[in-house]
Amino acid sequence: MTQRIVSLLLGSLLSAALAAQAQNQPLPGAAAPGAVAAAAGQRAADYIVAIVNSEPITNQQLRAEVDRVLRQMALAQQRAPDVRELATQVLERLINDRTQLHFAREAGIRVDEAAVDEAEQNVARQNQIDTVEMYRRLAADGFDRKQFRSQLRDQLTIVRVREREVLQKVKVSELEIDQYLREKQASQDVSSMEFNIAHILVGLPDDPNATQLAAAQAKAQRLLDRARAGDDFGTLARDNSDASDAAAGGRFGLRPADRYPTLFVNAARDLAVGALTSVRSGAGIHVLKVLEKRTVGMPPSSAEQTRASHILLRLSAQVSEAAARERLSAIKKRLEAGQADFATLARENSQDGSAAQGGDLGWAAPGMFVPEFEEVMGALAPGQISEPLVSRFGVHLITVTERRTVSLSQREMRDSVRAILREKKQEDAFQSWTQELRSRAYVEMRQPLG
């Protein structure tokens, strides 16, 4: 069991509880509440499993945390680990949390009520519900408001002490960036590269005759010429490809070279990002476009950007999700019937700052929008209009105007390397700091779990 899984923050654990309650059904594969107690022989009385700086950690507290991690893993469809092994890891996290909270109190770090209020609202907003509904669901999962706010306060305190004592102190020098780039560039070979390739397959039978081969070659060449002339590759793939991934625009996604057919890698390794070529395989003729190419550990040298527009309706006591969906569906029908253009209807209806620009969101790189918005936007071809989409901000209608691949500047690439190095150094510094706090704290392990 990795430290990453057992160090799940309260917000993600809460999301599992909220989602399970919203579905009104048990989580598949989740341990029933008290799974750890069952493993421990169903002991009736609670007992202390550890003491940290005079503060006890009880078996009931440990059981509750383990059960919540198991619920989160089940929701994510992850295989449940051995309960005893998980309990050991969770107990270690609880001990580390206690030592950090003790340090925060000694350092005078406090979280006021306003910060807890804001965090409470953010959690509800991220789960697309109000706080009343949030606490109704949490109560069904064994949380009361006082307990939840106390845990929120503890998590905020831990975040603040980590930022002050670790994260803000980590610096990355220009020399470190230079050294990182030199090392990565010196080790460039195909086995250390990742590609994002899109393709259009012009299918051929197993043993094509000369006529069939000539027709396929001519069609592939026409598609290659259209793509080079500026036609959207994803649209060409959706309309013409014989491959099973045509609906996704023929994209394979960013993956290591060894997860691509060798003929694709050989064709793409010397191509620039955005370049096109064609190759023949046993399935037919593939028109290839290199969307992204990078050495593992290196930032990308280019990025695909999307220009999209949207109409946003915010939810309120007066406007329900169903009403917003119905209104946007009616707007979509008007657009598809050619009764109005998107920009006009966005100015008239959108409750967003982009309304004045006809809903135009400008050019956006991956990661700029919330995941649920970006997933739908990424699946749209230019000119296509989505179905109404619910996000934490409300209900959207999205259209994609165009896409482009842009080269990143040297400064942007160095900033990406700086972020990579900072994250690595912060992780190392945090581990060292956590171990130091643990060594200075009084920790007494009491009765083990079962």
Q: Tell me the pLDDT tens digit for each residue of 190-210.
A: 777 889 999 999 999 988 999
Picking from 2, 16, 22, the residue whose alpha carbon sits closest to that of residue 76 is: 16
- CATH assignment, 302-407: 3.10.50.40
Domain boundaries, the chain: 3-165, 190-295, 302-407
- CATH assignment, 3-165: 1.10.4030.10
Q: How confident is the model at residue 294 (pLDDT cuts 50, 70, 90)?
A: confident
Q: What pLDDT, on the 0 to 100 scale, is given for residue 241?
A: 94
Residues in Cβ contact with 256 at an 8 Å cutoff, skipping those fewer than 6 apart: 193, 194, 296
Give the tens place of pLDDT for each residue, 32-43: 444 444 444 444
pLDDT at 231 over 50: yes
Q: How confident is the model at residue 114 (pLDDT cuts 50, 70, 90)?
A: confident
> What is the DSSP track for 131-180?
HHHHHHHHHHTT--HHHHHHHHHHHHHHHHHHHHHTGGG----HHHHHHH
Q: Is 145 left (phi over 0), alpha (psi -120 to 50) or beta?
A: alpha
- Coil vs helix vs strand at 200: strand
Q: What pLDDT, on the 0 to 100 scale, is given for residue 42?
A: 44
Q: How confident is the model at residue 65 (pLDDT cuts 50, 70, 90)?
A: confident
Q: How confident is the model at residue 188 (pLDDT cuts 50, 70, 90)?
A: low
Q: How confident is the model at residue 45 (pLDDT cuts 50, 70, 90)?
A: low
Picking from 361, 396, 399, the residue whose alpha carbon sits closest to that of residue 377 is: 399
Q: What pLDDT, on the 0 to 100 scale, is given for residue 450?
A: 53
Q: What pLDDT, on the 0 to 100 scale, is given for residue 436?
A: 92
Measured between alpha carbons, how far is 24 from 36 in angstroms, rounded to an integer? Answer: 23
- Of 3-7, 185-189, 310-314, 436-440, which range is least confident? 3-7
Measured between alpha carbons, how far is 233 from 251 in angstroms, rounded to an integer? Answer: 10
The mean pLDDT value for 132-147 works out to 82
Question: Cα 256 to chain center, whole Å?
Answer: 19
- The CATH label, of 3.10.50.40, 3.40.47.10, 3.50.50.60, 3.10.20.30, for the domain at 190-295 is 3.10.50.40
Bridge partner residues of 286 (DSSP): 201, 279
Q: What pLDDT, on the 0 to 100 scale, is given for residue 10?
A: 43
The mean pLDDT value for 335-351 works out to 94
Residues 249, 258: contact at Cβ < 8 Å? no
- Coil vs helix vs strand at 112: coil
> What is the DSSP track for 373-434?
HHHHHHHPPTT-BPPPEEETTEEEEEEEEEEEEEEPPHHHHHHHHHHHHHHHHHHHHHHHHH
Q: What pLDDT, on the 0 to 100 scale, is given for residue 366?
A: 80
- Please state, rounded to an integer, the average pLDDT across all residues of the chain: 83
Residues 13, 69: contact at Cβ < 8 Å? yes
Residue 333's H or E segment, with its range, is: helix 321-336
Select the highest-mean-pLDDT range: 24-28, 123-127, 221-225, 251-255.
221-225
- Of 41-55, 136-150, 296-310, 318-332, which range is least confident? 41-55
Q: What pLDDT, on the 0 to 100 scale, is given for residue 32?
A: 43
Q: How confident is the model at residue 417 (pLDDT cuts 50, 70, 90)?
A: confident
Q: How confident is the model at residue 189 (pLDDT cuts 50, 70, 90)?
A: low
For the chain, percent of residues with pLDDT exceeding 70: 87
Give the tens place of pLDDT for each residue, 421-441: 988 898 899 999 999 999 999
Q: How confident is the model at residue 187 (pLDDT cuts 50, 70, 90)?
A: low
**Same-fold call for 190-295 versus 302-407:** yes
Q: What pLDDT, on the 0 to 100 scale, is given for residue 104?
A: 92
- Of 22-31, 134-143, 246-255, 368-377, which range is least confident? 22-31
Q: What pLDDT, on the 0 to 100 scale, is given for residue 408?
A: 79
- Of 20-34, 98-112, 382-396, which range is least confident? 20-34
Residues in Cβ contact with 307 at an 8 Å cutoff, skipping those fewer than 6 apart: 360, 361, 362, 363, 364, 400, 401, 402, 403, 404
pLDDT at 250 over 60: yes
Bridge partner residues of 199 (DSSP): 288
- CA distance to 21, 349, 383, per residue, from 342 (Å): 38, 10, 10
Bridge partner residues of 57 (DSSP): 50
Give the tens place of pLDDT for each residue, 164-185: 888 888 899 999 999 988 877 6
Bridge partner residues of 277 (DSSP): 288
Q: What pLDDT, on the 0 to 100 scale, is given for residue 209?
A: 93
The mean pLDDT value for 109-137 works out to 82
Q: What pLDDT, on the 0 to 100 scale, is given for residue 135?
A: 87
For 49-102, the three-class secondary structure string (H helix, E strand, C coil) is EEEECCEEEEHHHHHHHHHHHHHHHHHCCCCCCCHHHHHHHHHHHHHHHHHHHH
Q: How confident is the model at residue 222 (pLDDT cuts 50, 70, 90)?
A: very high
